Amino acid sequence: MDYVLLGVLAAMILLLVSQNRKRRKDAEKLLSSLTEGSKVMLHSGIKGTVSAIDGDDLIVETTPGVKLTVVKQAVRSVEAATEGN
C-alpha cells in the first residue's frame, strides 16, 4: 500500500516538473520572438507596438507619441511584426 502511494506521489511530482519546464520554454520562446514592430499585449492588458529593444527592456508605443518602458517579462502575447511601419 505504501509503495502505491509513493508511486502516485512521484508521478505527480514528475508531471508538475515537466509542465513547469514546458511553460518556461514557451515563455523563453515568446521573449526571443520579440522584434521591433511586433504588436504585443502586456500582462496588465495594455496593447502596443515594440518600437525599441534595450537589453531586458522594451519601449512599447501604445498610441502615437506615447511610449512606455517595460521589462520583457511583462509581455503576455506577441503578434508577428507588421511590414511597412
pLDDT in tens, the chain (85 residues): 788 999 999 999 999 999 999 999 988 888 888 889 889 999 999 999 999 999 889 999 999 999 999 999 899 988 865 555 4
The H or E element spanning position 79 is: none
SS3 (DSSP) at 82: coil
Q: What does the alpha-carbon distance between residue 47 and residue 75 come to, in Å, rounded to a whole number? A: 10
Q: What does the alpha-carbon distance between residue 57 and residue 71 come to, in Å, rounded to a whole number? A: 4
Question: What HEC string does 55-76 produce?
Answer: CCEEEEEEECCEEEEEEHHHEE
SS3 (DSSP) at 36: coil
CATH class assigned to 2-78: mainly beta
Grid cell, residue 81, equals 511584426
